[in-house]
Amino acid sequence: MKTFLSNRWIIIGITLIALGWSPLFVIIALAAVGLWPDPDPNPVGPGILFFFTFWPAVICLGTGAVQSWRRKAHG
């Protein structure tokens, strides 16, 4: 796990997830619980942010996972 979390690509991917996905998921969760002012929100901005950060985050996490696996297997 330490090798996995010390990889730069993994850190970038986790940062993209935290900054790009969390606004949309927070709005969805708050609306589901009833704490959001609009019970049926249309979060266009956070949705676009999620759209543009989804694949880069997945690619960064995949690249980091492969690098970590190779480092662990060969060293």
pLDDT given for residue 72 in this prediction: 81
Query: Alpha-carbon distance 53 to 13, whole Å?
Result: 9
- Spell out the domain ranges in the chain: 2-74
Query: Alpha-carbon distance 71 to 13, whole Å?
Result: 18
pLDDT, averaged per 10 consecutive residues of the chain (75 residues), comes to: 85 97 95 92 95 97 93 78
pLDDT given for residue 75 in this prediction: 67
Q: Record the pTM.
A: 0.85
Instruction: Give the relative orientation of helices 8-20 and 44-74 as an angle to the nearest 10 degrees.
Output: 160
Query: Alpha-carbon distance 72 to 50, whole Å?
Result: 32
Query: Alpha-carbon distance 50 to 53, whole Å?
Result: 5
